């Protein structure tokens, strides 16, 4: 299970860590890889332990260390918040309804614990994707969906709770995979959502819906390797509107922008493919 933390101690290490799970230091929570750097999270300071560990490693260098409040890292508040038909609830409080009932009243409940990764629903790109899912599923319910860069799994959970029978959620970050699996369990959706640690762009299967909420470089790579016309629907976010306008020429001909939202400069699109 994934827990909440008050303060995080983070060590920035430059170089390739072959197996971050092999780090045997008390208080170690996990690694957030941002090549060529790694951000190792701990519950308490481990300055001497890190130095000893690095002395046994090859081509790794400690480049920075700092501490930060958990909520500052998350950029979230511990309260429910609404996005369209969705009510995002942190965790699964004892006084809440169980997740076996898909909808309660006018809302679809998403029980999400952010853990050490982003994706609580407050960031404009995440809320934009939820709004796009709300719009799309009021018109049509895709039977299959793929979520690339799933983070907490919030978009995968939203798709499944709105009726999609099979969802595959990819992330290259082991912390995100752990967190997404935990949130899938919280929402009782193990029979609908499969979370995979790996590069979703290189392993995309055929699906009616593609959800993609990542950065500009990842978007460029997506367009280079994937023909969006092969998906009936694509929900794309992760870039500022002005940046996307400069990259829109990369989109293949024959697709239609069905829906668009700009929130604090961040753009989210719902795209219809040819099929």
Which parts of the chain fold into alpha helices (H)? 47-55, 70-74, 124-139, 154-161, 174-186, 216-225, 241-247
Whether residue 86 is found in the same domain as residue 132: yes
Is the pLDDT score of 262 beyond 80? Answer: yes
Whether residue 101 is found in the same domain as residue 185: yes
Whether residue 171 is found in the same domain as residue 256: yes
**pLDDT category of residue 120 using cuts at 50, 70 and 90:** low
**pLDDT category of residue 95 using cuts at 50, 70 and 90:** very low
Higher-confidence residue of 96 and 191: namely 191
Which parts of 56-189 fold into alpha helices (H)? 70-74, 124-139, 154-161, 174-186
Whether residue 99 is found in the same domain as residue 154: yes
The whole model's pTM is what? 0.79
**pLDDT category of residue 159 using cuts at 50, 70 and 90:** very high
Closest CA to 151 of 185, 190, 115, 111: 115
- Here the CATH number for the domain that contains residue 237 is 3.40.50.150
Contact 97, 122 (CB under 8 A): no
Range of the domain at 62: 7-74
Structure tokens at 215: 């950065």
Whether residue 149 is found in the same domain as residue 231: yes
**What mean pLDDT is predicted for residues 253-260?**
91
pLDDT score, position 77? 46
Structure tokens at 229: 């016309």
β-pairing, 28-34 vs 37-42, is antiparallel
Whether residue 181 is found in the same domain as residue 205: yes
pLDDT score, position 94? 46
**pLDDT category of residue 79 using cuts at 50, 70 and 90:** low
Whether residue 108 is found in the same domain as residue 232: yes
pLDDT score, position 66? 86
**pLDDT category of residue 72 using cuts at 50, 70 and 90:** low
Instruction: Work out how many domains the chain is built from and give that number.
Output: 2
Domain annotation covers residue 204: yes
Whether residue 57 is found in the same domain as residue 98: no
Whether residue 106 is found in the same domain as residue 19: no
Arithmetic mean of pLDDT over the chain: 85
**pLDDT category of residue 101 using cuts at 50, 70 and 90:** very low
pLDDT score, position 17? 84
Higher-confidence residue of 76 and 12: namely 12
The burial class, CB within 10 Å (0-12 / 13-18 / 19+), for 35 is exposed
Give residue-wise pLDDT tens across range 143-158.
999 999 998 899 999 9
Is the pLDDT score of 160 beyond 80? Answer: yes
Structure tokens at 171: 């992330």
Give residue-wise pLDDT tens across range 179-236.
899 999 999 999 999 999 988 898 888 899 999 998 888 898 999 899 999 999 999 9
Is the pLDDT score of 59 beyond 80? Answer: yes
Last residue within a domain, chosen from 74, 96, 125: 74
Last residue within a domain, chosen from 25, 59, 74: 74
Whether residue 50 is found in the same domain as residue 103: no
d(CA 143, CA 167): 9
> Is the omega angle on the peptide bond into residue 36 within 30 degrees of 0, that is, cis?
yes
Last residue within a domain, chosen from 57, 74, 91: 74
**pLDDT category of residue 43 using cuts at 50, 70 and 90:** confident
The neighbouring-strand residues paired with 69 are 7
Whether residue 94 is found in the same domain as residue 142: yes
Whether residue 156 is found in the same domain as residue 116: yes
Domain annotation covers residue 2: no
């Amino acid at each position: 299970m994934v827990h909440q933390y008050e303060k995080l101690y983070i060590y920035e290490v430059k170089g390739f860590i072959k197996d971050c799970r092999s780090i045997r230091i008390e208080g170690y929570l996990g690694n957030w890889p941002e090549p060529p750097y790694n951000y190792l999270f701990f519950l308490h300071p481990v300055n001497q332990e890190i130095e000893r560990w690095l002395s046994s490693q090859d081509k790794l260098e400690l480049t920075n260390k700092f501490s930060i409040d958990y909520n500052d890292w998350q950029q979230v508040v511990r309260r429910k918040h609404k996005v369209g038909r969705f009510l995002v609830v942190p965790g699964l409080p004892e006084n809440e309804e169980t997740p076996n009932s898909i909808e309660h009243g006018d809302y679809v409940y998403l029980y999400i614990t952010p853990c050490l990764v982003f994706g609580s629903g407050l960031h404009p790109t995440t809320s934009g994707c939820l709004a796009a899912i709300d719009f799309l599923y009021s018109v049509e319910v895709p039977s299959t969906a793929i979520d690339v860069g799933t983070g907490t799994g919030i978009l995968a959970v939203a798709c499944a709770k709105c009726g999609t029978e099979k969802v595959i959620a990819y992330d290259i970050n082991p912390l995100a995979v752990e967190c997404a699996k935990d949130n899938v369990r919280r929402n009782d959706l193990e029979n609908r959502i499969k979370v995979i640690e790996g590069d979703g762009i290189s392993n995309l299967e055929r699906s009616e819906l593609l959800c993609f909420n990542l950065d500009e470089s990842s978007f460029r790579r997506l367009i280079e390797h994937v023909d969006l016309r092969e998906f009936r629907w694509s929900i794309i976010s992760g870039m500022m509107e002005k940046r996307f306008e400069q990259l829109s020429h990369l989109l293949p001909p024959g697709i239609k922008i069905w829906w668009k939202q700009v929130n604090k400069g961040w753009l989210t699109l719902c795209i219809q493919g040819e099929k």
